[in-house]
Chains A and B, each alone.
Chain A
Amino acid sequence: MNKITKSHLIAYFIVGMGAIIMLAPFYFMFVFASHTNSSILSVPPPVWFGGEFVNNVGILLDALPYFWHNIGLSFYVALITTVLNLFFCSLAGYAFALFEFKGRNIMFVLIMGTMLLPPFLGMIPTALIMSKLEWMNQPRALYIPMACGAMGIFMMRQFISSAIPKELIEAARMDGCNEFAIYWRVVVPLITPAFGTLGLITFIGQWNNFMGPLVVMNDMKMFTVPLALRALQGTGQVPWGAICAGAAIAVVPLMILFVMTSRKLIDGLTAGAVKG
């Protein structure tokens, strides 16, 4: 249907150039991660991969002795957040989608309203609360506050009300199944696709979370990856190669996850936008 015309070629060219600009920073991140500082600082800078990646990781580990621990902690926090979020959000989404109860609509509106509250508003008191609870430098200071988000409840309600017929729940209820067992045995198996999408969004969000850990983690050993990378700044001679190696290590797991699931992830993120 589309003939290749001159204007098409120009469009392809512009879109292609744009894509290169989008990807170039990632490319140079990998290139610099494999060069020594002096080679990065030379003019012109390197444009092809070198062989210094392992050395750069060594420099990184000298500056951040707990880097592997930081990665493990990031992974642990993101995973726990994801599991809790899937569990609590799907329970709430199930209640909103398939139960009739007093105050349902007002509660739902209230929950959605909390999405409008900017995160920085609670930053200072959160730091105070965490220190009062003695949760400073504890992973739970990161995953408990994030354990049940409004966005997740919204997604789960949308999915459950379109994917699970009320009759199915009523049939299970007739058979004497209790409410939690209905959730566990009927609802959960049917919503695994939504679990996949919400799980990805939660995991990526928590892996990249910077503001949360910034105020509750002050022991270098308990830094998450973004905080650890940030700590490389302003330490006299800036280790550019090591910074890029660290950034690459922080970004690669997400890139792999994204390449495998991009369609699902994008659909999930924009689900609310298109329907609303």
Chain B
Amino acid sequence: MSSVESAVRPPVTKIRKRTLKQRLNASGYKWAPYLFVSPFFVIFAVFGLFPLLFSLFLSFHYWEPASGLAAMEWVGIENFTFTLTDDWFQKSVFNTMWIALAAGIPQHVVAIPLAYFLHTSFKRSRNTVIGMYFLPFITSSVAISLVFTTLFSRDFGMINMLFTSAGNWTIFGDIQPLSWLFPTANIDWNRPEYTKTMIAFVVFWRYVGWNTVLYLSAMQTIPKDLYEAATVDGAKRWQQFWYITVPMLKPMMFFAVTLTIIGNLQLFEEPFIITGGSGGLEQAGKTAAMHMYITAFVEGDFGTASAVSWILFALIAFLTWGNNKLLGEKK
């Protein structure tokens, strides 16, 4: 008796007593998720997608912003052909690539062994050491680039002082054993041949800790018994590093290198601050993203600048794809 009743009655009473609020709740389950994800799409539509489409539209136009939106003039692909044949754009792409390689390769060459040392040899002090290497990554790139311009000054910069005192270090009265490696006179870091080196160093300094942390977190997922088996077999530490750690890190290398490519090709803040927003003498430190900014906001040519940004985007997409083809499938 009771089992039949309890099976039948609750639904009946529930339907009868359903209030407006409950009915709203029942349908709420259907629309709630859409409502909950909608803020992203609203914001993205207005401040992400629309700007993207508008910049594509702009890139086919000539336009003086001062004369209003009506004054746009359709020029077809002229902005693109102009940009691609523009010496300054080509130079900025060359600079970007140069800095990307000079800052990017050492980042990984240093980060992987560093992460290995931290992983194998540091126990209690590990987090403190990681923190020291990671600190540059979280600080303001503008503040720190300004500090670096002080350190790299010609006549009083700390870096010149260190270099020249190493270069001028004498033994036996007049022999300068390090003068072949270090300069004996102050270097003017603002000269075009040094600008890119300076920027690359600051970028390297800023991101090496980030890469170390990435590699370290990947190392922590490598099974310990691999190393134990290798130790039993008599493998030395560098052999373990070379034959176990490095191959096991391949997927992370792919990921980290991809991030470096994407990040370094968009380089803007460090070169912008270090060269005072100008690109430096002979524009030696002007990156492609800076070229875009200057074309738009200094020269006021929004159409060409939009074309620059799309060409740069295509370049980044192409190199990321190439990296994927080259490294991604080998893992």
Query: Which A residues are closer than 8 A to B by beta carbons?
Result: 2, 7-8, 11-12, 14-15, 18-19, 21-26, 28-29, 32, 40-45, 88, 91-92, 94-96, 99, 101, 104, 107, 111, 114, 116-129, 144-145, 147-148, 150, 153, 173, 176-180, 183, 204, 207-208, 210-211, 214-215, 225-227, 229-230, 232-234, 240, 243-244, 246-248, 250-251, 254-255, 258-259, 262-263, 265-266, 269-270, 273-274, 276
Contact = CB atoms under 8 A, between A and B. Distances in A.
B230 to A, nearest CB: 15
A240 B114 CA distance: 34
Most buried by A among B110, B133, B138, B151: B138
Interface in B133-191: 133-136, 138-144, 146-148, 150-151, 155-158, 161
Given A14-B117, A15-B118, A88-B40, 11 more contacts: A25-B205, A29-B144, A42-B156, A104-B33, A119-B266, A120-B268, A121-B52, A178-B25, A214-B293, A229-B146, A274-B217
A243 B268 contact: no
B262 interface: yes
B44 A114 contact: yes
Contacts of A127: 296-297
Contacts of B133: 18-19, 22
A180 B28 CA distance: 9
Contacts of B209: 22
Contact of B129 (A15, A173, A229): A15
B221 to A, nearest CB: 7
A233 B205 contact: no
Given A15-B129, A122-B51, A179-B28, A251 B139 contact: yes
The size class of the interface chain B forms with chain A is 35 or more
B6 interface: no
9 closest cross-chain pairs (CB), A and B:
A125-B51, A179-B32, A247-B143, A122-B51, A145-B47, A95-B36, A226-B142, A95-B33, A99-B33
B43 A211 contact: no
A43 B127 contact: no
17 contacts: A26-B147, A28-B151, A29-B147, A43-B156, A91-B36, A107-B37, A118-B313, A129-B46, A129-B54, A145-B43, A204-B138, A215-B297, A230-B277, A255-B139, A262-B134, A273-B255, A274-B217
Q: Is the interface of A mostly helix, strand, loop or mixed?
A: helix
A117 B48 contact: yes
B48 A122 contact: yes
Contacts of A14: 117
B135 A121 contact: no
Given A114-B48, A117-B52, A123 B150 contact: no
B11 interface: no
Contacts of B205: 21-22, 25
Given A124-B305, A176-B25, A144 B151 contact: no
A171 to B, nearest CB: 14
Contacts of A29: 143-144, 147
Contacts of B25: 173, 176-179
A121 B55 contact: yes
B316 interface: yes
Given A8-B121, A119-B266, A226-B140, A96 B32 contact: no
B90 to A, nearest CB: 18
A11 B117 contact: yes
A259 B29 CA distance: 43
A126 B273 contact: no
Contact of B50 (A26, A125, A177, A247): A125
A244 B140 contact: no
Contacts of A177: 25
A114 B36 CA distance: 18
B150 A32 contact: yes
B283 interface: no
Given A211-B268, A215-B297, A251-B140, A129 B217 contact: no
